[in-house]
Every structure is written in C-alpha cells, then in structure tokens.
Structure 1
C-alpha cells in the first residue's frame, strides 16, 4: 500500500472462491466517485482489510484494476489496532466495539 494505490489479493469473484491467486490494484482515483482529490489511501483501506470491489480494467500483466466507487463497495471486514473486529458506523468510519476507538475507512454499504 502506498499513497496512490493499494495492492490486493482477489479471493472471490461474485460468490465463487478463486482457485488460484489473482492480484488487483485499487488506485486512489478509483476509491470514491466524488471528491476524488480529497481521497487519502490511509483513510480508505488498511493492510488486512477485506473489501468488496469491481473489476474496471484488465490492468497490466500482473494485476487487475479494481474500483470501490459504488456505495456497496468498500471495506466489509476490518480489525482495529487492538485486533478486534470493527463495525461500520458511517460510510467513512468504523469503530472497535470494545475500545470504542474509531478509524477511517471507505465502508461498503451493507445489504
């Protein structure tokens, strides 16, 4: 992960688990549909997060380009710095229910 892009492992396509590893990249300009110039990678994703995204391009020979611009795309699972499972409290924040610490994320709208 760097300020311009996050590398991800693609684990599922739709509801089908992947049999082999596929690599993807979420670029900072593909995180949100609006206010793209205000998006910061560290406030959207962290290492270890599980996200829902869509493939927008085949990318290069190493990875697919992914986007989380739709409301239903973003972080669906995250652990806090304390190691606890976090819950979304807004579209851009998650909270550790034990410590009450709040961390920034681009949260996926739950169904």
Structure 2
C-alpha cells in the first residue's frame, strides 16, 4: 500500500532530487538532477511498495489553497515603484479574498497595449493603489508576473495623501476630492466594486 504526502509549492520550487527511483509526472520538470514544480498547486509525493516514487503537482479548488494561475484576474495593492517595474501584493484571485497575499511584478512594457516603451510608471500608478491585473507568467523568487495591458485592467482605487479615495475623471486621470489636483493613472475601464471593498476592509 502506497504512502502519500501532500506539500504546497509555487512554480520553480525544487521538489526532490532526481534519481532512478523517482519519476516526475504532471506539473513538474527535471533539470540538473532535480525535479522542479512548473505550476502552483499541491505536491503529491507517492512512495510505492516497490521502493519507487512518483511526484506531481495538482491544482485545487479548495479556497484555503487558492493560488494564482495563468490567466487569473487578480486584485493587487502597489507596494513599491521603480523605473522599470511595479511591485505588488496579490490580495484577491478571481474575486476570492486571500488570507495571505502573494507577491507579483508588473513590468513597464506590460502596463498598456500601445507604445509600451514610452509608458511612464509614475504616470500610471501611485503608492498603495489598488489595481486589477491578469497573471501572465511566473518570475524569480516566487513572484507572479502580471499585466494591465487591457482596457478593463488598471487602477480601481487610488487614495490621496489624507487617505480619501480619488475620483476617476477619465481613463488616464483621477481627481483629488480635497485639493482638486489631477493625478495621472492607468484607470481600469471596468470596475468591480465588490472586489475593491474586500481589499479596503
């Protein structure tokens, strides 16, 4: 009778050392003598009665283990901004609120659909902005890669210096309710208010 252990993993995690008795199945790949996870999910490591082992990564619908997948629509908070990337925390996946956030990176060329190399990050996002994005890949150090290069993606909540939400007045500008100063943003053209409220509670 086989003995099964279940572990949690993210893409790129090293799972086990590769040898003649270990076979990687779905959601894994082997390189340089080790088996790695190729997707997010749970790891099923089975010890068989003939002393061989099989390992695979399985996705799950269990909300306790909800993970971003390719194509997932995620709601994120801006953590830091540099010249080339926006660093984010993912707080919701497809409308489901997470107990713990995942880290994500939005590259400058993934902000808009047009004139990607001319986009200014500082004219698109601000500190602590809440944005809706789409997962497009997996980066280093367990960072998910996201894009806002669609009209329905971008900033959905932006706060002024007093912590009050600014009002979107176009797809490229928001208005401060106290100073009436306009600030540039990459504003989402479709807003899910229920998702925004989940993040700001």
Which category of TM-score, normalised to the shorter sequence, fits these structures? over 0.9
RMSD: 1.2
Q: Secondary structure at the match of 1:22?
A: strand
**Mapping 1:34-53, distance limit 5 Å:** 34-53=114-133
User: Which stretches in structure 1 are left out of the alignment for 5+ residues?
Assistant: none
User: Which stretches in structure 2 are left out of the alignment for 5+ residues?
Assistant: 1-80, 192-201
RCO (CA 8 Å, sep 6+): is it higher in 1 or 2?
A: 1
Give the Cα separation in 1 of the matches to 2:126 and 2:99.
25
**Mapping 1:10-29, distance limit 5 Å:** 10-29=90-109
CA contact (8 A) 2:125 2:186 kept: yes
TM-superposition CA deviations, 1:44-100 (whole Å, max 9, x none) = 111110000000002223200010001110000001234321011111110113321
Give the Cα separation in 1 of the matches to 2:177 and 2:190.
18
The runs of at least 4 aligned residues of structure 1 exceeding 6 Å deviation read none
2:154 aligns with 74
2:70 aligns with none
CA contact (8 A) 2:87 2:106 kept: yes
2:179 aligns with 99
Q: Which of 1 and 2 has greater Rg?
A: 2
Alignment TM-score, normalising by the size of structure 2: 0.53
CA contact (8 A) 2:103 2:143 kept: yes
* 1:64 correspondence with 2:144: yes
Q: Secondary structure at the match of 1:43?
A: coil
Give the Cα separation in 2 of the matches to 1:101 and 1:40.
19
Alignment TM-score, normalising by the size of structure 1: 0.93
Give the Cα separation in 2 of the matches to 1:53 and 1:63.
14
